[in-house]
Amino acid sequence: MPLVARAKRVLVTGGAGFIPSNFIRHILQATPYEVVSLDALTYAGSMDNLAPVSAHERHSFVHGDIRDMDLVRKVVADVDVIVNAAAESHVEKSIDEGASEFVTTNVEGTQILLDAIRQAPVERFILISSSEVYGTAESDPMNEEHPLNPRSPYAATKAGADRLAYSYYVTYGLPIVIVRPFNNYGARQHPEKVVPRFITQALDDQPLTIHGDGHASRDWLHVDDHAEAIEAIIAADLDGIAGEVINLATGIDISVTDIADQVLAMLDKPTSMRTHVEERLGQVDRHIGSTDKAERLLGWKAGTSFEGGLERTIDWYRENEAWWRAPQRRPASVFSS
């Protein structure tokens, strides 16, 4: 009898978080892959985010921590591809509340996963790093050769994991690909992050709190475009991408003040709702990513305009008030700044 090929099994760590849960919904819809999500369900993760796929026959969920070596070994032994997205992800939290959880989850958690694939090899291991590893742009746009000058404890731990993963490619020949996404936005992002914070503040008729003078600008990537890029990495010929670092960016930067103005205009609210608060420590001034390498290696380019993506995002927050009003998404620290 001919053997029927088994569908690829993809482990997504941090699956109940913003970017990973959007990726899981996308990949289940776009491919025949099976998906296992592993998540510790910290304040940032929620099963609500996985509700659209909770009953999907190709999706299973493991409640657990990437720092739990025994559990990680067991889960990794049964998958073909790993997308390591679990992280403590909030820059301000790393500054205000200390870096300990950031170091253990972002660096040690990655090391535990990497050691697990030395014992149980996988087809490829995709590390979701971050453009924050670059620090403020020394050149525009920033390509993958830009120096790493992380400016916050969060960014430093991402740089640590990023280079640790690279070292496992060099030292052990593991099939590692590192992506450095620029700032993501879209549905299901915790309101501690700036785009959903502005949207929910505006919907609540609260002042939109801008750190410093609001000139800091970022390259804003819609989370659905991000999902397509990871799909392209899983499908690409490994020889062309193993050991590579790939920016996921749009090549366009937008300032914090511009975002506030666009949110207010789209919701028909006055610009007088903008208010300025103290500049964030460790602030990065400007980020624009080079898109050349992603286009060359993956044939991928972000397809969503900021205006179109922001409109979709606002619609989602308008239609999902219960989600963003849930107590775990309204920590005092977020709205006190």
Binding residues for ligand NAD, rule: CB under 6 A, are 13-14, 16-20, 39-42, 44-45, 65-67, 85-89, 105, 109, 128, 130, 158, 181, 183-184, 190
Q: What is the DSSP string of 197-230?
A: HHHHHHHTT--EEEETTS--EEEEEEHHHHHHHH
Q: State whether residue 128 is helix, strand or coil.
A: strand
Q: What are phi and psi of 83, to 5 degrees?
A: -115, 105
Give the DSSP letter of residue 278.
Answer: P
For ligand NAD, which is the closer residue by CB, 165 or 260? 165
Smallest gap, in angstroms, from Cβ of residue 18 to ligand NAD?
3
Question: Do 244 and 297 contact (CB within 8 A), yes or no?
Answer: yes
Q: Which of 86, 245 has the CB closer to ligand NAD?
A: 86
- In whole angstroms, the minimum distance from the beta carbon of 110 to ligand NAD comes to 9
Least spacing, CB of residue 294 vs ligand NAD, in Å: 14
C-beta of 189 vs 209, nearer to ligand NAD: 189
3-state secondary structure of 158: helix
What is the rounded distance in angstroms from the CA atom of residue 132 to the CA atom of residue 120? 31
The least distance separating ligand NAD from the CB of residue 239, rounded to whole angstroms, comes to 26
Backbone angles phi and psi of 284, in degrees to 5:
-100, 130
- Tokens representing residue 294 in the block: 């992603």
Q: Which is nearer to ligand NAD, 84 or 209 (CB)?
A: 84
Whether residue 37 contacts residue 63, with contact meaning beta carbons closer than 8 Å, is answered with no
Q: CB nearest ligand NAD: which residue?
A: 17
Please say whether the beta carbons of 246 and 177 come within 8 A.
yes
Smallest distance from ligand NAD to CB 44, Å: 3
Q: Cβ closer to ligand NAD: 154 or 168? A: 154
In the complex with ligand NAD, which residue's Cβ is closer, 69 or 273? Answer: 69
Task: Report the nearest approach of ligand NAD to the CB of residue 89 (Å).
Answer: 4
